[in-house]
Amino acid sequence: MKYGARSSYQRRERDRTNAVLHALLQLGPGPHKSRDIVDAVTTMDGAEVRRRLLQLFDAKVCQRPRYGYWEVCPVTAVPSEFPGLVHPTATPLLDTTLLLNSLHRRTRQAVLLHTHSPLTGERLCIGAAGFRSVNLHRELAFTPGAVDRLRRAPLDSDAPGLAMLASLVGHDIPLRQDLRLIRTAQVAVSEAPLPGWLLVSVPLQRLPGAPAIPGAEPRVVAAVSVMVPDRAETGPLVAYGSLLRNAVTEAIETSVVIARPRFAAPQAA
């Protein structure tokens, strides 16, 4: 099923499960009583909250350290089929996982999610999909350092970092020509760390399902990329960029948004 083809019922079900997850996250790290979680989700009764906690438990997103207590699993990064590709993160990426998997199904190419570290000025891969290809595995295995560079590199190294960098620089600061073009197009293209491959990247101003602060100016927090063979012509590359932009916009618009310290799930449509 395509990402945008979900029925309103499916979206509502996902958003209500996400509401329980976000309520659990807002209670902070460590185990929390079921009663406290129910109190934090004001639009569902206790039975529904517990049912959705069991769904999160089955998905290995949260765990039950003891009876009547729940806590978020320490690492909820998007899993990768290639060891060492994904940088550990505690950011919940449930909706982002759906987005990456959807993009892989639609493009039949490997897809990556990078965020950036303000402290080190690096881009970090925190999610990936579509790395099961035998040929891609072989090329990564026989190219020393390729996996490390896909996982972590300076922001100005390639398309994912440049897509973020172009939007992170303040509008009152002059941009060099390549960054100005990327900011206008909202798409970056570059060689990948793996020879013979290209990266096509678009910036994200918010991860699907992540909190949104009312009135705050949106800041780029990540970039989604598709990795394609270098033989691709300019036309397909432009099409990849358009597909990524549209999918990202759709994913954010249909995901749950947190706007208050104590989250209340949206009413069913």
Tell me the pLDDT tens digit for each residue of 124-179.
999 898 887 777 877 887 788 899 999 999 999 999 999 999 888 766 666 788 88
Mean pLDDT computed over 90-108: 80
pTM greater than 0.85: no
- Across the chain, mean pLDDT equals 78
DSSP the chain: --GGG--HHHHHHHHHHHHHHHHHHHT-SS-EEHHHHHHH-TTS-HHHHHHHHHHHHHTTSEE-SSTTEEEE-S--PPP-SSTT-SPP-----HHHHHHHHHHHHHH-SEEEEEEEETTTTEEEEEEEE----HHHHHHHHTSTTHHHHHHEEETTSSHHHHHHHHHHS-TTS---HHHHHHHHHT-EEEE-SSTTEEEEEEEESS-TT----TTPPP---EEEEEEEETT--HHHHHHHHHHHHHHHHHHHHTS----SSS--PPPP-
Tell me the pLDDT tens digit for each residue of 37-94.
999 887 888 899 998 898 888 777 788 888 889 988 764 445 556 678 888 876 667 6
Q: Quote the pLDDT of residue 77.
A: 45
